[in-house]
Structure 1
Amino acid sequence: MAQQIKKNNFEDSFGIHQLYIDILNCMPNIVYWVDNDCILKGCNNQFIQMLGLKEVGDLKGTPYEQMAKLTSWSNKRIESFRLDDMKVIFSGVAQYDVEESPIFNKKGEAVHYLSRRVPLFDNNHQVIGLVVVLTDVSERKKLEAQLSEQKSGQEHSKAEPVLVEEPHVLMVEDNFIAQKVEEALLTALHCHVDIADSGDKALKLFGPGKYDIVFMDIGLEDTSGYMVAKKFRQMEENTKFHVPIIALTSYQADVVKYDCNDYFMDGVLTKPLTSEQAKQIIQHFIYHENIDVAGLKSVK
């Protein structure tokens, strides 16, 4: 009777042990456990596969000896791994989700693991071993790196307008008050502004590629803003430059937009220029952002 009980207890224990092994083998993690002398006492199939073996019967010695013999891990990295295991055995303090230094496989690819080291205790709370769980997070690290690069590229793209050299603006305007208002709006947007209060001065100041944008009052006293714009375009002929010219008028913009187009201007606004319009013009014509300019009329 006693022998039958012992036999049943052994079979029950063996069955439970095998059940635990089956559960561990279903885990995607690499699992092994050692005694307090760091001698391998068990592992799951993922650990066997990491070593390149086919079955547990092929495994002999300590896990670190097997790593040195069967993997491409460096001796320095394996020794560091062994010492980390021993620290937990000696201290009895578990370590959770430690990001290990990358390990390079035979292809030279970096493999990243998160490690968990948990001491095993007997009934007297004495350390009798250690279980180590390694989670391969290499794919996650690759995705994080890709996302980081994308984010960096997006931030760089967003920062580009700030990094562009201070925009140079030519304002052709003969009304003193309008000059001061428009100059204040544009300097607030970090623009360098040159003012021409006549057609002649505008022609002296202008040069192909010198300005990023021109604001042109089409009702100048000494000449027509249309003619000044036409001469600007003649100066740009046979060059790679085409400065945006925005006409400013006291009339309804819809009324004069066709004339502005005939004289090679890029759009027309009814005065006064607002701070919102000034900002949108800088964004649209200088930084080439996909932003509409409120009130801007054009036949293009």
Structure 2
Amino acid sequence: MPELPEVETVRRGLAPFIEGARIESVTLNRPDLRFPFPEGFVSRLEGQTITHLGRRAKYLIATLSDGGAWLSHLGMTGAFLVADRPLDEASRLNKGDGTGKHVHVVASLTHPSRGRVTLSYSDPRRFGFMDLFAPGAANPFTDSLGPEPLGNDLSAPYLAQRLKNKKGPIKTVLLDQRVIAGLGNIYVCEALYLSGIDPRRAGGTLNGGEIEKLVAAIRQVLAAAIAAGGSTLKDFAKADGQPGYFQHSFAVYGHEDDPCPRPGCGGTTERIVQAGRSTFFCPACQR
């Protein structure tokens, strides 16, 4: 699944084409993706203007002119395509097969400066999904999420409170979206390495200094990944079709049995499984 930097990269690529655009028509080529489209999906979108394209955790959220929200999750192979933009390839390395059989949603937009824009959603595996929410309606996908890791609400005091008395491994705690929204396996591994914390440690054993280092490391790793355009793993590429490059900067993720890159460490990167996910770390310098 795409992680926060990948979704943010897609958001930044799409925003100039759809923010401020009026949705003239919507065509569904099938009744469902991972879940069925909500009742009245087409009629509720047509005639609306997309006032803002945001991101909450790993979800793209288009704010509509009536105050409602159009939520999208890309799943493993979902991709938004802008048909009138010259792309080297479709986003997230989902190029399609030329027949368009994996294009499930097509929206015709009118943008105030770009004119007609055709926005399509392609998803070969159909693990992505979309939903619509009326103004002020409860959103079960985002309402229970913790603070954004790049926002002001994530702080060392906040995380210290959430880690208090936690007996589970810090790696598992950080993957809990109720604690911090949008953190995924890759970037948790990298942040724990950068902060020198063993992923097997109980969350409640971290002291104040370690928590401060961890919060700073989370921000640093995510910011670097976004600046690099995300990480190309399997199906992901940037919105302009080019691959992301942060995977070339991974310190430990995917580097099992490689020497630890920390100067003077001399350790070897190991891989273990925690909560069904691969964890990469250096037992010599992550304490």
TM-score (norm 2): 0.21
Q: Work out which of the two has the higher radius of gyration on C-alpha atoms and give 1 or 2.
A: 1
User: Which is bigger in relative contact order (C-alpha 8 A, separation at least 6)?
Assistant: 2
Please state which structure has a larger fraction of its residues in helix: 1
